[in-house]
Amino acid sequence: MLPNAHNHDFFAPAVYSSWEALLRETGTWRRDKSLRGFLAGWEAFSSHRVGLIGMALVLAFAAMAFAHPILMATVWNVSTYHPMVGFDEDAASHPTLPSWKHLLGTDSMGRDVLSQLLYSTRTSFGIGLLAGITATVVATLIAVFAAYYGGTLDMVLMAFSDAFVLMPPQILLLVLGIIIELPWPVLALLYGLFAGLGTQAITLRAHAASIRVKPFVEYARLAGGGGWHVIRVHLLPNMASVMLVNMMFTVTQSVLVEAILSFFGRSQIRMSWGTMIWFTQTLFHLSPYGTQWHAILPPVLCIMIFCGAFYMVGRALDDTVNPRLLKR
């Protein structure tokens, strides 16, 4: 006779054991465990008010980037609001102060400042993300190979990284801007490469080396796990949080570098926040309304807030994933 179906003490262990075995066999158990880890990390991050404010600001800038093509296709007249060649023929002279038609006014060439600002947000986002991803990939590759294989390879790679630490990316790019053209994809890739080869590689290598000596890594090697298996299954997942934090700070630094290079005319970026500042400062005092604060303040504030937003997210992630800080 079957036992009573209401006897939960009898059925619970058997059902739990069978489901766990099934989930482990199909791989769903691992995905669920990762999901639980993600939710736990998000709970810790969401308790960090500075991080939430930073994320909200990042999403606001993302909305600005997506808003420009939508406004150009639906609301704005291309001949008037184009960020590079637009011109308002209804105004008697340019630049003009902010108005209902031009919420941030126009510059000395009759171009809408708000349209330029929104268009430039796309450029800055592209530079930041591409530079951050490039730096993270390069630094991670150097770090895991140096930490796992050690020996001569570790010594050579770290000596190579030490050399790049002594060559700041800002100075290198200022010089390269004289020699070669630097459109924003090239600028982002070069900055990401220089940043990834230098300090980031050294930082990630130290973190990877601390994971390399953990018992579970030794057990994996004794069980027959090859180098790629250990790197893929044990090193990279445990380095993901530090990689993400470093990427946040690289985004901030790359946007600042682009603004500096554009201000000094060392890039071939047609429109960015740095380009807006460079163009406005050349004619800053030549306005019939006085100095053009309405044209130069918006890109300056955007650079400050954009970099501050990613910095706040990076600090929140650092506080969330750093065990020593969590213990305080």
Q: What is the predicted pLDDT for the residue at 324?
A: 45
Would the pLDDT of 160 be above 60? yes
Number of domains, the chain: 1
- Where does the pLDDT of residue 2 fall: very low under 50, low under 70, confident under 90, or very high at 90 and above? very low
In a domain, 19, yes or no: no
Question: pLDDT tens digit string along 52-85?
Answer: 898 899 999 999 999 999 999 998 988 888 888 8
Question: pLDDT tens digit string along 12-49?
Answer: 444 444 444 444 555 544 545 555 555 555 666 677 78
In a domain, 34, yes or no: no
In a domain, 29, yes or no: no
In 96-208, the DSSP E strands lie at none
Quick one: which of 178, 204, 202, 199 has its CA closest to 253? 199
Domain encompassing residue 207: 40-326
Please give the C-alpha separations between residue 157 and each of 138, 152, 164, 190, in angstroms, as whole numbers: 12, 9, 11, 19
d(CA 75, CA 84): 17
d(CA 196, CA 143): 10
In a domain, 281, yes or no: yes
Please give the C-alpha separations between residue 307 and each of 14, 247, 259, in angstroms, as whole numbers: 54, 13, 11
- CATH number reported for the structural domain that contains residue 264 in this entry: 1.10.3720.10
3-state secondary structure 284-323: CCCCCCCCCHHHHHHHHHHHHHHHHHHHHHHHHHHHHHCH
In a domain, 5, yes or no: no
Longest Cα pair distance anywhere in the chain, in angstroms? 98
In a domain, 6, yes or no: no
d(CA 254, CA 276): 17
In a domain, 262, yes or no: yes
Question: pLDDT tens digit string along 198-245?
Answer: 888 888 888 888 887 777 777 777 776 666 777 777 787 778 778 888
Question: pLDDT tens digit string along 108-128?
Answer: 888 899 999 999 998 888 998
Is this structure's pTM higher than 0.85?
no
Confirm if 288 and 107 have CB atoms less than 8 A apart: no
d(CA 133, CA 263): 25
- Where does the pLDDT of residue 138 fall: very low under 50, low under 70, confident under 90, or very high at 90 and above? very high
d(CA 236, CA 234): 6
* Location of structure tokens 């949080």: 241
How buried is residue 168: exposed, middle or buried, by Cβ count under 10 Å (0-12/13-18/19+)? Answer: middle
In a domain, 197, yes or no: yes
Quick check: helix, strand or coil at residue 267? coil
Quick check: helix, strand or coil at residue 258? helix
Q: How high does pLDDT run on average in the chain? A: 78
